[in-house]
Structure 1
Amino acid sequence: MATPQPRTASTAPDRQLPRPPPQHRLAQDQRRASEAYRSQAGRYDQRTESFRYWRELLVDQLAARSGDTVLDVGCGTGLCLSQLQHKTGTTGAIVGIDASEQMLAVAADRVAEHGWDNVRLLAAPIEHAPIDATADAALFCAVHDVMQSPAALGNVFDHLRPGAAVAAAGGKQPGPWMWPLRGWVADLHAPFIDDFTGFDRPWRLLAEFVPDLRVHELAFGTGYLALGHARGR
């Protein structure tokens, strides 16, 4: 397929992501996203199969090692758990956190199937999750709403040791030179995102907690990979 030619802002169609909703709309969007996670839990793995390469790249780039404790933030159905197990080994520990009990039920089945006794799953919104560990690393895989919540990020980073490894990846709004992809990106992510605020730079709040954050745009600017280390205390 031919690569679309870039256009200037004055000639590109005005196909933008949805505008930030007012407060009453935000509550509706939150209910819609929660329902999407509930209804899609059993099909989520299949639905996201095409993104496996980027998910595996994310976990591969996380600077965790054998014996480490890792927070899998917004772990969903546990798609990253197997690769994290290879990194941390039997002496390490993984804490998977997700607000959707339906998604975590699938993750729990995966844990039981593999006999991973070093995985703990927490069913709670990230900002209120009762994390009782000081972790060596944190993984954020396709969790835009978490990345836009100072309270959620604050809770995670309160439970990371100074200098802990951090890796994040997900979708983003492509730049104006790739305007033909904007509609596709919006439609792809809309069922699972409460608010598209910050979708042009999803890592902006993360950078306040990770002073050495390095960001790489992926897939023609429709995704990103961000790597760094938690701020020292």
Structure 2
Amino acid sequence: MAIPRERVKRLYDEGARSYDLTTILFRLAGLRMQKYRSEVIDCLDLRSGNTVLELGCGTGLNFPLILEKVGPQGKIIGVDIAKGMLDVARSKAIMNNWNNVELIESDLALLKFPEGVDAVLSTGVFGYIPEYERVIENAYDALSSGGHIAILDGKKPENLPGIIFKFILAIGKQYGYTEEYFQVSPWEAVESLFSNTTFNTRYGGMIYEISGVKS
């Protein structure tokens, strides 16, 4: 059973200021999230001037990697349910003069998707959203023909020692991580809608990367 959406919002609001520090603990556990983020963003095949819709943008950890590719002529539309996370992302945008970053506070299941975006990115969000199939369908509709989607998220691991998985759950407990989070399979929705899909796993199968192209 998915964690209630209001609880997700509350946990991320409360933990927003320490979220980036928490990612360091994942790194100590061997999770190379920055590398995985870079890999999945490379799957978007971004060009200068592209518009990227990021679902569950959090504190903006992906923003520098995206902006490096789309440049000042491009744009990021970042969406998150937690105002606290967006406040941190907004502070980063102001500090770095990222004037081409637009932030939207919204539940992804209720989001009115913009039209004609070049790419859709999501990292670490779909285990919270029972309606993930509908969200992915909306992402498909929002993309221009030839646009790319890429998702980096977690699933039930096949080859990860149980003690390490429990450690990861303990680190993420303050953000609502549960075993149920890792039991959904959004990549199946991507594979059913998009062409040229690529699916890879990392970290003993606990991390997956799925990408595809809108024909």
TM-score over 0.5 for the pair: yes
Relative to structure 1, the CA distance from residue 97 to residue 56 in structure 2 (aligned partners, 3 Å threshold; closer, same or farther) is same
Rate the CA distance shift 1:192–1:45 in 2: closer, same or farther, 3 A: same
Q: Secondary structure of 1:72's partner?
A: strand
CA distance in 1 between counterparts of 2:52 and 2:132 reads 20
- Partner AA of 1:87 in structure 2: K
Note if 1:158 corresponds to 2:141.
yes
CA distance in 2, matches of 1:75, 1:102: 12
Q: Which moved more, 1:129-138 or 1:117-126?
A: 129-138
Greater alpha carbon shift after TM alignment, 188-197 vs 138-147: 188-197
Q: Which has the larger radius of gyration?
A: 1
Matched, 1:113 2:95: yes
Judged with a 3 Å threshold, the aligned counterparts in structure 2 of structure 1 residues 83 and 178 are, in CA distance, closer, same or farther, namely closer
Q: Can you list the C-alpha shifts for 1:97-137, whole angstroms capped at 9, x where unaligned?
A: 11111111111111111111211111111122233341111
Specify the SS of the correspondent of 1:108: helix
Q: How does 1:110-149 map to 2 (within 5 A)?
A: 110-144=92-126, 145-146=128-129, 149=132
Deviation readout 1:22-56 (Å, 9 max, x if unpaired)? xxxx54xx333222101110011111132323223
CA contact (8 A) 2:47 2:69 kept: yes
Hey, what's the Cα distance between the residues in 1 that align with 2:188 and 2:92? 33
What stretches of structure 1 of length at least 5 have no aligned partner?
1-19
Whether 2:127 is the aligned partner of 1:173: answer: no
1:208 pairs with 192, 199, 208, which one? Answer: 192
Name the TM-score, length of structure 1 as normaliser.
0.77
* Identity rate, percent: 25
- The amino acid that maps onto 1:155 is N
Distance 1:168 1:38 in 2: 23
Q: Where does residue 8 of structure 1 map in the other structure?
A: none
Q: CA RMSD in A?
A: 2.4
Q: Whole-Å Cα distance in 2 between the matches of residues 80 and 221 of structure 1?
A: 22
Counterpart CA distance in 1 for 2:179 and 2:166 is 16
Structure 2 unaligned spans of 5+? 28-32
Match of 1:199 in 2: 183
Bigger shift: 181-190 or 78-87? 181-190
Residue identity opposite 2:188 in structure 1: R
Post-superposition shift, 1:209?
A: 2.5
User: 1:184 and 1:159 mapped to 2: Cα distance?
Assistant: 37
The letter for the 2-side match of 1:92 is G
In the alignment, the residues of structure 2 paired with residue 134 and residue 193 of structure 1 have an alpha-carbon distance, to the nearest angstrom, of 33
The one-letter amino acid paired with 1:196 is E
